Amino acid sequence: MSALELCDVTFSYAAASGTRTAPVLRNVSLEVPEGAFALLVGATGSGKSTLLRLAKPEIAPAGELVGAVRVLGRDARGMVPRDSARAVGYVFQNPDAQVVCDTVWHEMAFGLENLGVPEGEMRRRVAETCDYLGIEPWFRARTAELSGGQRQVLSLAAALAMRPRVLLLDEPTSMLDPLAEKNFLSLLFRANRELGITVVVATHAPEAMTDVATCAFELRDGEVRAASLEELSRPVPLAVPGGRSGEAPRAGAPLVWVGNVWHRYARDGRWVLRGLDLKVGEGEVRALLGSNGCGKSTLLDVVAGVSRPQRGRVRNAAAAGQALLPQAPKALLACETVREELSEWAPAGGYGPTEVDAALEGLGLAGAADRHPYDLSGGQQQLLALEKLLLVRPRLLLLDEPTKGLDRAARERVACRVARARSDGATVLLATHDREFVRAVADSVSLMFDGSLAVTEPAGPFFASSWLS
């Protein structure tokens, strides 16, 4: 029996006007055997997330489906939520879209409670899953205090506690630092080999998984074909015209100044920022590197004024003209269509329909202008949110993981947009795990560790001295 099977599947999203948009999937047929570790690759917006969601009826997209989607031999559309929860686990790209409870133990039990699992069986499943994944040391921690890597492991654990036979994952490592990524993939490999769970991963970074994968499929122009694991194991370097690696920062008076800042999220919690000092000059592109949980996102929030530090001072000369791209782009998307999203700030931003049309073309979303933003892939939402900010020409651009969930071409597009914003006079402060992207766009790099900046150097000398790739 196949774990996942698509037979001549064509799918089109519904437009806001009620009409159909162009098909995202066209006559797609594929078969994933039970016990497989399958990779699903393709460009940003190629339909990977759509394909996975069609196999999970609770989160299946709204639109017109032609053909059959079968999970373990059953029509996915005919599965009731209880049966679907027991058969198929799903891990989202962003763990914040999945973690709903305030503590780890409650998150682990949440799905089981909804299924009506008896208390004794529930305790056993939670205990066994936590032991298997090494979660016990932080079992009683608050989910808000977990690092990004821990939250992603928690999402995996909550899915595995349901004991699914098929596990679907959408870009599960895109927000993880290199060590957290390796640890997460090791857990995923164990679940596949030791527990016999069929794993299907949609990813833009297949090279990290080709050693354990058993098969791969590529989506292109709405169609699918078998992909070579050998070819996918070869990473393709980022190519950005006019990349900035090695260039010294442009001189400029400090636009952002952070002095001896201490910050934590709870009165008795750990300090996330500890005596941190930062200066970013006007016209500079500064990158923040560091592991999950080191405080990069917190520092961006403090600079933006979203969070107020307990100690220290922050001066932001561009506070009235700043724009913040959060890790979750949905926080910026509030309209009914993609076109309306890009047009929302037009009166205040001084742009009009011509600029919106050009942005749609540049994003490759002209054919999706009437779709709801939430029907876009995670990568497309990321690009849409960034373009929405750039249309208002901010003086200070704060970017939190701007390339997560993006393929190489989309990452290059973001790099070009950041370079253009800088040329137009913007100062950029960005947090990322994407070192290749930093090499392409940054003037200078700050490495965060233990709540402060361990080192700040021009990009060239920083990477020349670093023993990490």
Helix (H) or strand (E) holding 280: strand 273-281
| 226 contacts 215 by C-beta, under 8 angstroms | yes
pLDDT of residue 246: 45
Label residue 211 by pLDDT band (50, 70, 90).
very high
Half-sphere exposure of 38 (CA within 13 A, CB side): 26
Lowest model confidence (mean pLDDT) among 42-46, 84-88, 248-252, 351-355: 248-252
Question: pLDDT tens digits, residue range 117-176?
Answer: 999 999 999 999 999 888 888 899 889 888 777 888 899 999 999 999 999 999 988 888
pLDDT of residue 359: 93
pLDDT of residue 178: 83
Question: pLDDT tens digits, residue range 378-404?
Answer: 889 999 999 999 999 999 999 999 998
Number of DSSP helices (H) and strands (E) in the chain, helices first: 15, 19
- pLDDT of 251 strictly over 70: no
Q: What share of the chain is helix, strand, coil (3-state, %, to 5)?
A: 40, 25, 35
pLDDT of residue 144: 83
What is the distance of C-alpha 231 from the center of its chain?
A: 24
Report the Cα–Cα distance between both ends of the chain, in Å, rounded.
Answer: 42
Q: What's the CA angle centered on 287, arms 283 and 290, to 5 degrees?
A: 160
Q: If you average pLDDT over every residue of the chain, what do you get?
A: 90
Label residue 285 by pLDDT band (50, 70, 90).
very high
pLDDT of residue 241: 62
Nearest-10 crossing angle of helices 148-160, 178-195 = 10
Nearest-10 crossing angle of helices 148-160, 104-115 = 20
Q: Is 34 exposed, middle or buried (0-12, 13-18, 19+ CB in 10 A)?
A: middle
Question: pLDDT tens digits, residue range 58-83?
Answer: 999 989 999 999 999 999 999 998 89
pLDDT of residue 418: 93
pLDDT of residue 19: 67
Label residue 239 by pLDDT band (50, 70, 90).
confident
pLDDT of residue 194: 92
Of the chain, the percentage scoring pLDDT greater than 90 comes to: 69
Label residue 245 by pLDDT band (50, 70, 90).
very low
Place of tokens 């998984």: 209
**CA–CA gap between residue 446 and residue 182 (Å, rounded):** 24
**CA–CA gap between residue 276 and residue 263 (Å, rounded):** 9
pTM, rounded to two decimals: 0.83
- pLDDT of 34 strictly over 70: yes
**CA–CA gap between residue 208 and residue 185 (Å, rounded):** 8
pLDDT of residue 392: 95
Question: pLDDT tens digits, residue range 422-465?
Answer: 999 999 999 999 999 999 999 999 999 999 999 999 999 999 99
What does the pLDDT average to over 354-381?
90
Of the candidates 9, 97, 55, 41, the residue with the CA atom closest to the CA atom of residue 333: 97
- pLDDT of 219 strictly over 60: yes
Of the chain, the percentage scoring pLDDT greater than 70 comes to: 97
Supply 289's token pair.
Answer: 């590197």
